Amino acid sequence: MTAASAGYITDVDYIPGFYPHMSPVAMRYAASLNRVVPPATEKRFRYLELGCGLGRSLTTLAAANPQGEFVGVDVNANHVAAIDKDIATGELANARAIACDFATLPKDLGRFDFLALHGVFSWVAPEVRQQILEVAKSHLAPGGLLLVSYNAMPGWAHLQPIRGILRQYAALRQGDTVQRIRDALNYLVFIRDKKAKYFEDNPRAAAYVDGLLKQDLRYLAHEYLNEHWTSFYFSEVAGMFGSAGLAFVGSLPIHTNFWDLCVRPEFQELFRTTSNRLVTESHKDFCANTAFRWDIYATEPRVMQSPEERLKQVDDLYFRVARPGISLPHQVNLGVVTSTVQGPLYETLLKVLSKSSLRLSEILKDKSLKGNPAADLIRAVDAGVAMGLFDVTAGPVKITAKPLKGSVAVVSPFNRAVLASDSLGGRPVALASVATGTGHTLGDFDAAILHELTSEGPDGLVQRVDARLTGSGRSLQQEGKPVTDTTARQQLVESACAAFTDTSLPQLAQLGIVATAD
């Protein structure tokens, strides 16, 4: 352990991952739902990520927002070297990564409109948390937004011993960190299967172990072996950021901003009788047994004075139907609450937003929605987003884009590089879209089809994808079982290629990720 990492493991590199909640568009929309004016992003803006790991969120967002400047900081020099490579191959002129700890950021870093830290706050030493608060104080611009994720209470209460068992057993083992977490996981499974009393008394903890077995060992090492792992109550985090002059302004995913979508009706009375956000957020976490939070804070938040102001301040956001073929009634399970969207207003909104992506002001003016009070329409659109019916994007999406003709190309060098390195890597692949201002996730198998189609063309696509699949050792699954028969596998690959070309490819064209090759 070095003083710089302060108990955070540095001998195992993390795993790459893209997290859409970290996008400026998601943070801006969540703030605007809470009547807070977010920073503008149409022109130049600045974004800082603390503890950016291998930088997949940072670089994907930089590729999706060429007008923004993206800076990542990480104490692990291997992580920064990998990001530098991705920045070079992706030809990203607006991103850079700095290898340093939070206490020694360059003096001339300046102020940022967005500051984000995911997978950091719960896992670092108390003095490092203090450094994070200092960074927020001095580097977040007035009105800027900060996103912080953390392990939350009470959801972690029954799981905390799992972390304790893993860490204590790993400390007794020999070998590198990956070997020690592997041994610790085997021990955990052993005592769970032999019905140790802790697991008998906590059946949910016993089931949780199955999820751990599916995880990458590098992820598990970073999640569980850091010396200072902590889970926080919302009020503790709000208190810490409050001491640095930041106020809570909302949370992600979007539905967590709607208390009636987070807790059952019998718990909702408190929300009607108090306007104290500390009380309602805590009440929500107790009623929903929240285990993880993504919270947004702001320095000197500017509160919108009227609904009309939202139309002025954030009317650069666009809304569209979340995916083709969605129909009503639309039922969604949001964890504690299952909700159903239906009714004539939603039927019309669904029709309107299937044809084109629209700003809120355009939705209000749409002829087919005439007669509905503006407040009802805005509420329906926001609730539709919260329930996954609609999507919010940073710019217009060409829903009626011309069909692709002839050979197809992946437009940006960044996305081409991601496809070349990550397809069939066993993890979802995120591609950047300038139209939406965020990343779009494909399965790694679909990513391989796209890569083959766009790099070598459609002739012999099925055979090439099949050969890559066989070479990678990755198996296809049918009804939860690996497909071992060669003919059955080839048929599956063939239907996957056809489905990808018919359904996913036109969607990627709408997002500006692929286009007809010149």
Ligand X SMILES: C[S@@+](CC[C@H](N)C(=O)[O-])C[C@H]1O[C@@H](n2cnc3c(N)ncnc32)[C@H](O)[C@@H]1O
d(C-alpha 106, C-alpha 141), whole Å: 17
Cβ closer to ligand X: 86 or 452? 86
Note whether 17 binds ligand X by CB under 6 A.
yes
The correct pick among 74, 86, 285, 446 for binding ligand X (CB under 6 A) is 74
Q: Which residue lies nearest ligand X, judged by its C-beta?
A: 53
**Where does this chain touch ligand X (CB under 6 A) — which range of 115-123, 260-268, 309-317, 344-352?**
115-123
Note whether 129 binds ligand X by CB under 6 A.
no
CB 72 within 8 A of CB 97: yes
Note whether 12 binds ligand X by CB under 6 A.
no
Note whether 148 binds ligand X by CB under 6 A.
no
Note whether 6 binds ligand X by CB under 6 A.
yes
Cβ closer to ligand X: 414 or 500? 414
Radius of gyration of the chain (CA): 24
Element holding 220 (H helix, E strand): helix 217-224
In the complex, least distance from residue 47 CB atom to ligand X, rounded to whole angstroms: 13
In the complex, least distance from residue 464 CB atom to ligand X, rounded to whole angstroms: 31
The correct pick among 21, 129, 222, 255 for binding ligand X (CB under 6 A) is 222
Note whether 51 binds ligand X by CB under 6 A.
yes
Note whether 422 binds ligand X by CB under 6 A.
no
Note whether 47 binds ligand X by CB under 6 A.
no
Note whether 8 binds ligand X by CB under 6 A.
yes
Cβ closer to ligand X: 35 or 222? 222
**Where does this chain touch ligand X (CB under 6 A) — which range of 68-76, 187-195, 460-468, 505-513?**
68-76
CB 181 within 8 A of CB 217: yes
Nearest to 147 by CA among 243, 38, 10, 307: 38
Amino acid type, 152: A
Note whether 136 binds ligand X by CB under 6 A.
no
From residue 346 to residue 385, the character string flagging contacts with ligand X as x (rule: CB under 6 A) and all else as - is ----------------------------------------
Orientation of helix 160-172 relative to helix 203-213, angle to 10°: 50
CB atoms inside a 10 Å sphere around CB 176: 12
Instruction: Give 163's contacts (C-beta < 8 A, 6+ positions apart).
Output: 224, 229
d(C-alpha 384, C-alpha 254), whole Å: 10
Note whether 26 binds ligand X by CB under 6 A.
no
In the complex, least distance from residue 5 CB atom to ligand X, rounded to whole angstroms: 6
Residue numbers 77-106 binding ligand X by CB under 6 A: 79, 101-102
Strand order in 318-321's β-sheet? 358-359, 318-321, 390-393
Cβ closer to ligand X: 102 or 414? 102
Query: Is the Cα dihedral 81, 85, 88, 93 positive or negative?
Result: negative
Cβ closer to ligand X: 149 or 299? 149
Instruction: Give 269's contacts (C-beta < 8 A, 6+ positions apart).
Output: none
d(C-alpha 256, C-alpha 251), whole Å: 6
Nearest to 29 by CA among 251, 307, 288: 251
Cβ closer to ligand X: 55 or 384? 55
Nearest to 234 by CA among 121, 387, 397: 121
Q: What SS3 class is residue 211?
A: helix
d(C-alpha 197, C-alpha 313), whole Å: 56
**Where does this chain touch ligand X (CB under 6 A) — which range of 113-121, 378-386, 411-419, 477-485?**
113-121
The residues binding ligand X (CB under 6 A) are: 5-6, 8, 14, 17, 19, 51-53, 73-76, 79, 101-102, 118-120, 124, 128, 222
